[in-house]
Each structure stands twice: as C-alpha cells, then as structure tokens.
Amino acid sequence: MNFPSEILEIERVLFNEFGDLKWWPAKTPEEVLIGAILTQNTSWSNVEKAIHNLASENLLDLRSLSNASRETISLLIKPSGFYNQKTERLIGVSKTITSEFGSLENLSKQGIQFCIDYLSPMKGIGRETMDSILLYAMNFPRFVIDKYTTRFMTRYGLLKNPREIGKLERITDILNHDIWRLKNFHAMIVELSKNFCKSKPVCEKCILNKSCNYYKDKSVP
C-alpha cells in the first residue's frame, strides 16, 4: 500500500459519506481542553452532561476552575465517571496554565513545540489528550492519534500493529498541515469507528470494507 495515496483515498470516501462533521463542539478553546480531559474513559454523551453542569455554574474556563472547590467540581462532573481523578487533573492543569500564562490562548502563542513540551509532563495529559488539545483547542497542525485511529488503521492494513503510531504522524504532512482537514479527518474516523469499526466490528456495512485487509481476510473461506 502507498501510505499517502491510501490516506487521501480514505479521506475522500469518508467525506463523501460524512461531510463536514464540525467537530469539536465547543464554544471556546478552554472548553475543548476541559472536554478532552473529561472524555477520558467515557462516552461523549456523558461528557456533554458534565459540560452542561459546569456551564450552569460558569465553570467552563480555566481560571474559574482553578478557583473552584474540589467538592463542587466533583459533583458537577460526576456523569463523566472517574470524577475524583478528573477533578484533580482539571484543577492541576487549570492552576498551572493560569498561574504561568494567564490563559490557554497565551500559552498557545508560545508555539507548538513549546506547548508539546509543556503539556506532556502534566498529570492527566497523555498522548491522545494532548493531541486533541493541540489540534482542536490551539489550532496547531497535529493529527490526533487515539484508539480509534490506531484500531482502524491497523485493521485496514496501514499499520502492522497499534504501536506503530509514528507512521500516523505523517498524516499531518499528507493533509498539507490543513487544520480543518486534520480536524475533520480525525472526526470522520471516530464516526466510522463508532458506527462500523467498533471493538466488535460491523464490517459488512462499512463503506471501506472492499479495501480493508481485516474484512478481506475475514471473508476468505
């Protein structure tokens, strides 16, 4: 398989099916960061409930979160699960960024590499969360590598195994560092994964099954 041409073909097929998914649904970049932490180990529907609760108390920005009590935050984000752990992470990230930069916007002005080095050591910000923050909150050209992309790309045949993630970093170049395309390509893969390329895949109805190694191998008598 020619990796760049396969990526472009996947993008074309998915866009014909899903179009512009307008993801991530948030009013501010700081809300995106908050949502990226809340969505760890839970479904987006649960995150939406927690986001709604935080919004009702005007706690959808880092400065407000950094000044709120642990008890208040824990109660509000309870629908997202692991709420005590996520409360500590939200407060820690919020306090660090606001005390050192004042806002996420000011941090983003330092550039992508600075932000990678700055966010990486923070408790609760792993690779997937950091990628989401860099792309969706800070508008840096950074493809999001998560369980959906690695699972799909491995099954499709573009990765030998889910740990071969360095290859996926090339997608940023293949999509010409286009922020909108990077956002929508990731969003379309997530949509495909939620509907077809699940942990227990629904291959027969998948729009990419004719080119997918997993489906072709499974279909061989």
Q: Which domains does the chain have, with CATH numbers?
A: 3-22+143-219 (1.10.1670.10), 29-137 (1.10.340.30)
| pLDDT tens digits for range 150-183 | 999 999 999 988 778 889 999 999 999 999 999 9
Return the residue matching tokens 């108390």: 57
Asked if 135 and 179 count as a contact pair (C-beta separation under 8 A), the reply is: yes
pTM for this structure? 0.94
- From start to end of the chain, where are the E strands? none
pLDDT > 80? residue 218: no
Q: 1 vs 69, which has greater pLDDT?
A: 69
Nearest by Cα to 168 from 147, 184, 153? 153
pLDDT > 70? residue 219: no
pLDDT > 70? residue 220: no
Nearest by Cα to 41 from 121, 123, 129? 129
pLDDT of residue 164: 83
Share of the chain above pLDDT 90, in %: 94
Asked if 193 and 152 count as a contact pair (C-beta separation under 8 A), the reply is: yes
| pLDDT tens digits for range 118-151 | 999 999 999 999 999 999 999 999 999 999 999 9
Q: Which residues contact 209 (CB under 8 A, 6 or more apart)?
A: 203, 215
Residue 100 C-alpha from the chain's centroid: 25
Average pLDDT over residues 43-66: 97
Q: Residue 221 — pLDDT band, cuts 50, 70, 90?
A: very low
Q: Residue 35 — pLDDT band, cuts 50, 70, 90?
A: very high
Interior angle at CA 132, CA 31 and CA 144, nearest 5: 160
| pLDDT tens digits for range 74-85 | 999 999 999 999
What is the rounded distance in angstroms from the CA atom of residue 60 to the CA atom of residue 63? 9
What is the rounded distance in angstroms from the CA atom of residue 44 to the CA atom of residue 35? 9
Distances (CA, A) of 167 to 37, 159, 160: 25, 8, 10
* Mean per-residue pLDDT over the chain, rounded: 95
